[in-house]
């Protein structure tokens, strides 16, 4: 990790200031590096994300001004802040749907955004998957405009209902058909018949995907649920699914924002014409809401993700000797 004492980052010889946050228990370590003084390496990321020897997290997010980050400088005219996201194993990721909401809350609570930012108006955040817009929906809740999505296999995959095969440990050993969804990062969605199979799946090991995507993939397991709201009234225009996910570079996580979008979009594609445009996605860490953008088809369009973002701790992390 290349980090030196300076007034901008607040780093000292004793360590690095951090914030811990989560979105539906998909948790992150967040660092403020406004002027891009630090160069992250995989060793540092894995050390800080280690759940026994470090702070612990599914990933690390660095907040840096877009103009100060070479990977994002081309977006400097569109967004002030860049979300530099790393998986827990130190690998670089394009985007994180839960992470971008937590990132927005971090910017706001750290004074890096005006106090009124996001209240009723969208503000932009640069990511490796392009510029995303966010809007605050009351205390600790955000909606992210996730931008464009597409079924990787297009109309052919839609007609076939799948474009990949996935074998999941803990089930019957049979490779199951799956649908690939591109949200700026790759996803492969598998439909299971019931909650019992969802519970039985062993995601401590990465599912085997064929064909293997060039940049790897997140794998979502989904089960459709009865559309019943908390009062017990049927909700005909809202889809309801349960999901578990294995994220590349992190293993099974309690939630995945882009994965929730992918799961809803794949389920909508399988349901066909007339499928709901709003989906509640129940994950082990809570519930997210996915809204398909107006004018979207079953193979491509835009999508929004809504859910909580909580900051739970601040402190200083010292590198191991």
Distance CA 119, CA 137 (A): 7
Q: Compute the CA torsion angle 177, 89, 195, 227 (nearest 10 deg).
A: -90
Instruction: Name the residue among 295, 266, 290 with its Cα closest to residue 278.
Output: 290
Note whether 3 and 9 are within 8 A (CB).
Answer: yes
User: Distance between the two ends of the chain, CA-based, in angstroms?
Assistant: 13
Quick check: is 49 catalytic? no
**Scanning the structure block, which residue is given the tokens 């790759």?**
186
Please state the length of the chain.
321
From 11, 100, 157, 256, active-site residue: 256
105, containing H or E segment: helix 97-109
The two structure tokens encoding residue 69: 């980050």
Quick check: is 261 catalytic? no
From 96, 166, 171, 181, active-site residue: 96
Distance CA 122, CA 104 (A): 11
- Residues forming the active site: 96, 256
């Amino acid at each position: 990790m290349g980090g030196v004492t300076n007034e901008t980052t607040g780093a000292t010889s004793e360590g690095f200031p951090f914030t811990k946050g989560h979105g539906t228990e998909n948790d992150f370590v967040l660092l403020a590096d406004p002027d891009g003084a630090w160069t992250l390496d995989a060793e540092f990321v894995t050390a800080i994300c280690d759940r026994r020897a470090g702070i612990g997290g599914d990933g690390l997010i660095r907040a840096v001004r877009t103009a100060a980050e070479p990977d994002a400088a081309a977006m400097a005219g569109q967004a002030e802040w860049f979300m530099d996201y790393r998986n827990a194993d130190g690998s670089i990721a394009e985007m994180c749907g839960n992470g971008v909401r937590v990132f927005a809350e971090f910017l706001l609570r750290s004074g890096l955004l005006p106090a009124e930012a996001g209240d009723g108006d969208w503000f932009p955040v640069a990511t490796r998957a392009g510029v995303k817009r966010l809007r605050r929906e009351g205390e600790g809740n955000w909606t992210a405009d996730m931008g464009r999505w597409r079924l990787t296999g297009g109309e052919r995959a839609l007609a076939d209902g799948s474009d990949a095969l996935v074998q999941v440990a803990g089930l019957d050993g049979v490779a199951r058909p799956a649908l690939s969804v591109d949200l700026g990062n790759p996803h492969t969605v598998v439909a299971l018949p019931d909650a019992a199979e969802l519970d039985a799946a062993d995601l401590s090991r990465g599912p085997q995907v064929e064909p293997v995507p060039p940049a790897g993939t997140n794998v979502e397991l989904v089960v459709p649920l009865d559309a019943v709201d908390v009062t017990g009234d049927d909700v005909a225009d809202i889809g309801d699914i349960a999901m578990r996910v294995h994220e590349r570079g992190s293993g099974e996580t309690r939630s995945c924002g882009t994965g929730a979008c992918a799961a809803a979009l794949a389920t909508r594609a399988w349901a066909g014409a007339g499928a709901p445009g709003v989906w509640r996605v129940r994950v082990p860490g809570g519930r997210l809401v996915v809204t398909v953008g107006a004018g979207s088809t079953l193979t491509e369009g835009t999508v929004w993700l809504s859910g909580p973002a909580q900051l739970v701790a601040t402190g200083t992390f010292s590198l191991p000797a």
